[in-house]
Structures are given as structure tokens and as C-alpha cells.
Structure 1
């Protein structure tokens, strides 16, 4: 493996992060240090941990960081549900973001499985 930027899962996670930033711009200002910040931090954590794990010297370390990415992704999905439930996100925007997150989830799980099988 040569460069984490070539990983489609990293590229999709970066795209999702950008979309989270764009969609949280409309959240109420009083949420800037609460749900807005939390959503953004979770989103940033996903591609960041993919990249960090990729830079480690062992498959076990890569797996550890990929699993952290999965945890951040699940946290993000939960927070998206909360944002929808309190009407910060309309149904259509929620559905689009959630589906994007599910795509990243499927890719991460497949990537983890592939790495485990190569051990």
C-alpha cells in the first residue's frame, strides 16, 4: 500500500466530513459548542484515524485505528439522528448524510475484514 489518499474509503470519509461541515452551518448558534462541534469532531475523526492507522507499522495498529474510525462513525450516525429529531436537519438532508455514512461504514467494515484475512 502506497498512500492513504488513494483509499476510496478515506476519500468517501473526507467527502462526508465536508458535507457535515456544510450542513451544520445552519444549526443554531447556541449549538456551536455542543451538537455542531460534536458532529464535526466525529466526522473529522473518521478519515483522520484511517490516515493515522495507515501510517503505522503494523496491521494490528491499522486495525486498531480503523476500529476507532468505525466507533466515530457510529457516534456520528447517532448524532445525525439527534439532529433530525430536534429538527436541526430536515428528513431529506438527514437521509443523504445517513446514507453517505452507511456507505463509509460498509467500506470500513470490508476493509477491516480484508486486513484480518490477510494476517
Structure 2
């Protein structure tokens, strides 16, 4: 992992947090369905960013980045749902929501830059 790739670093750290939350939800709350959804999409953000970085073309890079953005949106949904159904403590959920919002803004900014560079 490169030390200067902010989205790569943040998405990996977020995936680690998601795995910890999944363990908490399944072990402490005995919640298996919603937590599995969160695990899948929350770790997929970084996995697709890694694929984007290794993409074969700028089109491939953009496509994988778009998938990461969509997975981050889905992750946001599951966190809110788990918070509103009292599976996640509010402070933990809010912290996760801030992190996923940062990822959405970073990924969205990269997408915008790529769109603008191809339209120039």
C-alpha cells in the first residue's frame, strides 16, 4: 500500500473498523443478517479501490471507483439502519457515518476530476 494514497489508506482503515463492528454485532448482539450486509459492502469499498489502482485503463479505473462509491452509499444505509434499530450505539454509528462520508467525498472528488479531465 502506498503511503501517499489517501483513499487507499482511509478505505483500508475503514474496512478494519467494519470487520470489528461485524464481530461486535455477531458476537455481542447476535445479529447476523444486517451485519453481514454491512461487512460485505463496507469491505468492498477498499477492495474496489485496490482494483481501480490496478486497473488496465482509465475507463477501468473510473468503473471500479464508481463501484466503490456505490458500495460506500450502501454502507451508509446499513449503518443508519443498524443505528436506528439500536444494534449500534449512536456514538459508534456517528463515527462510522463520518468516516464513510469522508470516503464518499474523496471518491466523488476523484470521479469529478476524472470527468473534467476527459471533457477538456
5+ residue gaps, structure 2, are none
5+ residue gaps, structure 1, are none
Question: Which residue of structure 2 lines up, in the alignment, with residue 43 of structure 1?
Answer: 42
Deviation at 1:89, TM superposition (A): 0.6
Deviation by residue 1:24-79 (Cα, 9 ceiling, x = unmatched): 222145433x1111111101110111111221121111111101001100100000
| RMSD (Å), alpha carbons | 1.7
Q: Secondary structure at the match of 2:24?
A: coil
The 5-angstrom pairing of residues 1-119 of structure 1 reads: 6-28=4-26, 30-32=30-32, 34-119=33-118
Change (3 A) 1:36 1:43: same
Distance 1:57 1:25 in 2: 35
Q: Which has the higher contact order (CA 8 A, sep 6+)?
A: 1
Contact 1:4 1:51 in 2 (8 A): no
TM-score (structure 2 length as normaliser): 0.87
Deviation at 1:115, TM superposition (A): 1.7
TM-score (structure 1 length as normaliser): 0.88
Change (3 A) 1:13 1:37: same
